[in-house]
Amino acid sequence: MSEVLVSVEHVSKSFPGSAGDELRVLDDITLDLREGEIVALLGRSGSGKSTLLRTIAGLIGPTRGTVRYRGDELDGANPGTAMVFQTFALMPWLTVQDNVELGLAARGVPPKARRERALRAIDLIGLDGFESAYPKELSGGMRQRVGFARALVLEPDVLLMDEPFSALDVLTAENLRTELMSLWQRHDFPTKAVCIVTHNIEEAVLLADRVLVLGTNPGNVRAEVEVDLARPRDRKSPAFAALVE
Ligand code: ADP
Ligand code: MG
């Protein structure tokens, strides 16, 4: 059995409601993210997908239950994860290079190593030549590439993505999705598991080994689907090309 990297155990999350009551967003969610797998969290808008992903990242704490990384209960940010956001969340006053280096700086990586790692991530994700550009000079697709570089440069065990392609036009999304799968397939970055939030069922089935469907009010896992299309994920293969057409 492959190693469990992240475990979510009976997690519930409530927010204060507008009428002084509580808004229950997640209800008793239990799931594992294991080495080697891509898991999609699928659900309607408002079903708590982002809340669950943020809880896994340790950006917010659960109201009840536990999130563990390699067996250790989280105490703040999850050190094994990095996140890609729907609307990129880049720092507009920083260049591509500085955006990518920011998280490394926060983790105390010295400047020279920071620079080298950032340049590698920038190259990997197809941003070569854009190191000195500012986010406003880039297209949406290129901005999200910066979002990916910024996450991958941290070499997280688990890459968390919150609707990473939904702000992009269809063709751009498809290109980036296919490139990402190709990098994943070739082990071009050391990430061991991916968790992607999406409301797009095709995307979920195309990318994931396992799809968890979140129900609404309050969000809990309503269904779990193993995806086994026995499909090659190498985009150079005709079978893969046919799938993403
Ligand atoms: P999804 O990503 O599936 O669209 P979210 O996790 O963003 O869903 O939100 C689920 C519900 O939780 C929504 O009703 C949203 O308004 C509410 N919610 C999310 N974050 C907060 C917060 N920080 N404070 C209060 N309510 C929140
Ligand atoms: Mg969301």
Model confidence at 244, in pLDDT bands (50, 70, 90)? very low
Tokens of 153: 């440069």
Return mean pLDDT, the chain: 88
pLDDT on residue 9: 96
What type of residue sits at position 75?
D
CA of 25, nearest ligand number: 1
pLDDT on residue 204: 87
Compute the distance from residue 237 Cα to the ligand 2 centre, in Å.
33
pTM of the model: 0.89
Model confidence at 220, in pLDDT bands (50, 70, 90)? low
pLDDT in tens, 44-102: 888 899 999 999 999 999 999 999 999 999 999 999 999 999 999 999 999 999 999 99
Map the chain to HEC letters.
CCCEEEEEEEEEEEEECCCCCEEEEEEEEEEEEECCCEEEEECCCCCCHHHHHHHHHCCCCCCEEEEEECCEECCCCCCCEEEECCCCCCCCCCCHHHHHHHHHHHCCCCHHHHHHHHHHHHHHCCCCCCCCCCHHHCCHHHHHHHHHHHHHCCCCCEEEEECCCCCCCHHHHHHHHHHHHHHHHCCCCCCCEEEEEECCHHHHHHHCCEEEEECCCCECEEEEEECCCCCCCCCCCHHHHHHHC
Model confidence at 185, in pLDDT bands (50, 70, 90)? confident
Distance of alpha carbon 197 from alpha carbon 163, whole angstroms: 5
Ligand 1 atom showing the smallest separation from residue 53 Cα: 6
Ligand 1 atom showing the smallest separation from residue 60 Cα: 23
Structure ipTM: 0.98
